Structure 1
């Protein structure tokens, strides 16, 4: 479904967003397919036998799907949005190795032992005060040698640099067919819902959780991805 949503209230992952989600990401996330491929290309090297691959905030299961196809491991998707949860369940229906669970990471973190944990554009939607605890739980439930992969929208280190990156991002959205009205309405609806922090802050959250090997493997302006290894 082509994304023509003009939100007029606080942003939520409702039925309309779920239906248009794939098109929305392709037109809103810079280098979207490159980022998705990079997440798998990095993550696949850390999948260990008899462990889980977990996707935190799995939405419709796009990040989890290549792991399901490539490995025999059990896979778990956690999703808080009811429409997204049902979409992910439908996607993997009949596959007994895949579990999709509707849950709130602020209240519970999955206890399954994982060798790869994905957090693709998820943490930014969780209030800042919960993020460190979630990353700590991810570290604690990860096998030694396992990987946590984090993809986030980020702030620039200064207001001036951040403004230039945001300008470039909105230029990209306009080039991908979004109107100024759509861009402005979505910006307003996301205020207080999507709360990014700087790249350095994200790296500090990862190292504070215990990860000692942290590196950025993809970045475009105000979007970035890291791999963090449990040593």
Structure 2
């Protein structure tokens, strides 16, 4: 885990709340932000190398799509039970890639990590055994989501797997309202103020666009994944394991 400054991005009143972007300000506080905002984030990172080792194949490629500061890539590079894999870490945020690169300089990893500054949809998936798409699809235009999941499935080898994590929405309005309220209470418990919660919500409007559980399952099935399981669920944050 990286050392991160405390997230104070929305702690002061903003005359105009700009759309949320993964810039240098966010990259500098990202670990603190995601720990305090995403229920189950730590538990998922503990599970990730265990799950990855179930599917990583010798001589194959591993993809971390929307890698941010590289938590998934680094945990796999430390823990993979094989002798020859290549890890490709992709993010379209220059600030995230820059901090990830700096972080790598102090680490002694078992496997190399290739950093790629690009949109995840632009990267070719070839000879893949395991792919991670954590809290990334929700920031991609809806018109491109099916294509991306199809591309991942096509590029995975037989018995390869995708770990997909997303914040979901609900068809039932009462369930949606309850889960949103519980999530905001989670943030309050983690020392976010009412103003921070409100301004962050406004910044993410029309930027983080959620799908339902049913939409995710249908998309994964249509792409060609043969077995889809809910790996973890914390409030409205769900991780799916999809096996080809």
**Does the alignment pair 1:153 with 2:157?**
no
Change (3 A) 1:148 1:101: same
Corresponding residue number in structure 1 for 2:89: 77
Once the two structures are TM-superposed, the CA of residue 38 in structure 1 deviates from its matched residue by 2.2
Aligned-residue Cα RMSD (Å) equals 1.4
210, 213, 232: which is aligned to 1:196? 210
Once the two structures are TM-superposed, the CA of residue 34 in structure 1 deviates from its matched residue by 0.8
Corresponding residue number in structure 1 for 2:36: 27
**Could you say what secondary structure the match of 1:10 adopts?**
coil
Corresponding residue number in structure 1 for 2:103: 91
Provide, for residues 8-54 of structure 1, a one-character-per-residue CA deviation record: whole Å limited to 9, x for no partner.
20000011100000011111111221122223322220010000111
CA distance in 2, matches of 1:134, 1:124: 12
Contact in 2 for aligned 1:52/1:76 (Cα 8 Å):
yes
Q: TM-score, normalised by structure 2?
A: 0.90
CA distance in 2, matches of 1:41, 1:203: 23
Provide, for residues 119-142 of structure 1, a one-character-per-residue CA deviation record: whole Å limited to 9, x for no partner.
010101001110110011101110
**Could you say what secondary structure the match of 1:155 adopts?**
coil
215, 221, 226: which is aligned to 2:240? 226
Q: How does 1:17-166 map to 2 (within 5 A)?
A: 17-71=26-80, 72=83, 73-93=85-105, 97-106=112-121, 108-166=122-180
CA distance in 2, matches of 1:70, 1:35: 15
CA distance in 1, matches of 2:154, 2:93: 25
CA distance in 2, matches of 1:151, 1:111: 19
CA distance in 2, matches of 1:111, 1:175: 40
CA distance in 2, matches of 1:210, 1:91: 36
CA distance in 2, matches of 1:92, 1:111: 23
CA distance in 2, matches of 1:113, 1:62: 22
CA distance in 1, matches of 2:71, 2:126: 21
**Could you say what secondary structure the match of 1:195 adopts?**
coil
Q: TM-score, normalised by structure 1?
A: 0.95
CA distance in 1, matches of 2:213, 2:55: 23
CA distance in 1, matches of 2:44, 2:79: 18
CA distance in 1, matches of 2:214, 2:155: 24
Contact in 2 for aligned 1:155/1:196 (Cα 8 Å):
yes
Corresponding residue number in structure 1 for 2:8: 4
Contact in 1 for aligned 2:228/2:240 (Cα 8 Å):
yes
194, 206, 225: which is aligned to 1:211? 225
Provide, for residues 38-96 of structure 1, a one-character-per-residue CA deviation record: whole Å limited to 9, x for no partner.
23322220010000111000000011111111234210001000100111222224867
User: Mind listing any 5+ residue stretches in structure 2 that lack a counterpart?
Assistant: none
